[in-house]
């Protein structure tokens, strides 16, 4: 299973909610904090076409500016029990 990249911002409540959800279900991911990191922020913008977080890159499929409600069907579509 590919390990997705999760772009987050410091102090973002939606980011914290998504992080908690993924960690509680032992779903592996790579956390990339874009706050104060221009290179990571630009990479997120290049991938998603916007600057809002959280943004997930799952093997080239992008879920941008989402909460847990949007994350659940995205994960289910990848065969994960959520």
Q: Is residue 6 part of a domain?
A: no
Q: Is residue 4 part of a domain?
A: no
Domain that holds residue 54: 17-64+74-78
Q: Is residue 53 part of a domain?
A: yes
- What is residue 72's predicted lDDT score, i.e. its pLDDT? 97
What distance in Å separates the CA atoms of residue 26 and residue 20, rounded to the nearest whole number?
10
pLDDT (tens, 9 = 90+) of the chain, 82 residues, equals 679 999 999 999 999 999 999 999 999 999 999 999 999 999 999 999 999 999 999 999 999 999 999 999 999 999 888 8
Which residues have CB under 8 Å from 19's CB, separation 6+? 6, 8, 31
Q: Is residue 9 part of a domain?
A: no
Q: Is residue 42 part of a domain?
A: yes
In total, how many domains does the chain have?
1
Closest CA to 41 of 28, 29, 53, 25: 53
């Amino acid at each position: 299973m590919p390990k997705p990249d999760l772009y987050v911002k410091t102090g973002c409540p939606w980011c914290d909610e998504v992080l908690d959800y993924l960690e509680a279900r032992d779903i592996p991911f790579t956390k990339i904090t874009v706050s104060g990191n221009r290179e990571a922020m630009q990479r997120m913008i290049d991938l998603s076409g916007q600057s809002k977080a959280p943004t997930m890159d799952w093997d080239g499929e992008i879920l941008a500016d989402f909460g847990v409600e949007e994350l659940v069907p995205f994960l289910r579509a990848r065969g994960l029990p959520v």
